[in-house]
């Protein structure tokens, strides 16, 4: 696949927003799978099954499905709420938020599909200052579902790393959901290490707790 990674252009907006929306909502199922496969929820599910059997079919028929529906709702709201927030804020003005300063940038990956150039990925970086450290924070690493496992994530991340080196930054940092295990593995492969786990998010903390979702802050020294 012939691929070109270039700076975002205003004419890309509709395609970029569509890809961002589809990919973000696609994380709901992995989040649910990650939560329901945890030892805690396996234990709870088994306990509810036993309780439903021992206490009567009516109670079991109500409690067990209710627990699953609640978990699905939490996973859905975490990502759909995040999507709504970003579509109203920084994604509405990508040039203003990601291309107005020399320390920031937004790239798209463009591939030729059936003779037509299509945007199949994107990534952004914002230069930041903390104490005496200047670093770049990686955002919006998005890969189209049809183009995954082709090395595109590596190329986009390396684009950010090289940009940060050129700007004289000391590190690249990012935040990622614990449910995105493939992305976490990719970052580790590229030299990022875990520096912090937290649950500070636009979603209510109780939703993150029920969905077993943790925000991982990772860092690569340059």
The model's pTM: 0.83
Phi, psi of 171 (to 5 degrees): -165, 165
Report d(CA 71, CA 25) in Å as an integer. Answer: 16
So what's the pLDDT on residue 141?
95
Q: Is 43 exposed, middle or buried (0-12, 13-18, 19+ CB in 10 A)?
A: exposed
The CATH number that domain 1-222 falls under is 3.40.630.30
pLDDT digit string (tens) for the chain, length 222 residues: 678 999 999 999 999 999 999 998 888 877 777 777 777 666 766 676 666 666 665 555 555 556 666 777 777 878 888 888 899 999 999 999 999 999 999 999 998 877 788 999 999 999 999 888 899 999 999 999 888 888 899 999 999 999 999 999 999 999 988 878 888 999 999 999 999 988 777 666 666 666 667 889 999 999
Task: Name residue, tokens 């979702």.
Answer: 213
Is 119 within 8 Å of 15 (Cβ atoms)? yes
User: What is the chain's length?
Assistant: 222
* Domain residue extents for the chain: 1-222
Residues 6+ apart with CB under 8 A from 197: 178, 214, 215, 216, 217
Q: SS3 string of 89-135? A: CHHHHHHHHHCCCCCCEEEEEEEEECCEEEEEEEEEEEEEEECCEEE
Q: Distance of CA 137 to CAs 34, 75, 219, Å?
A: 26, 25, 9
């Amino acid at each position: 696949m012939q691929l070109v990674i270039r700076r975002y252009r205003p004419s890309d907006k509709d395609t970029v927003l569509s890809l961002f929306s589809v990919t973000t909502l696609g994380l709901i199922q992995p989040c649910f799978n990650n939560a329901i496969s945890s030892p805690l929820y396996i234990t709870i599910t088994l306990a509810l099954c036993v309780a439903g059997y021992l206490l009567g079919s009516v109670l079991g028929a109500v409690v067990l499905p209710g627990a699953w529906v609640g978990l699905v709702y939490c996973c859905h709201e975490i990502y759909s709420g995040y999507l709504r927030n970003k579509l109203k804020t920084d994604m509405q003005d990508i040039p203003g938020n990601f291309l107005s300063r020399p320390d920031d940038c937004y790239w798209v990956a463009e591939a030729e599909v059936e003779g037509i150039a299509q945007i199949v990925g994107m990534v952004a970086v914002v230069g930041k200052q903390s104490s005496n450290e200047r670093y770049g924070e990686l955002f919006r690493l998005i890969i189209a579902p049809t183009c995954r496992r082709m090395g595109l994530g590596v190329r986009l991340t390396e684009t950010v790393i090289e940009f940060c080196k050129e700007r004289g930054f000391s590190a690249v940092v990012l935040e990622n959901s614990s449910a995105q295990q493939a992305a976490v593995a990719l970052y580790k492969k590229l030299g990022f290490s875990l520096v912090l786990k937290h649950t500070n998010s636009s979603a209510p903390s109780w939703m993150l707790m029920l969905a077993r979702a943790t925000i991982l802050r990772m860092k690569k020294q340059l």
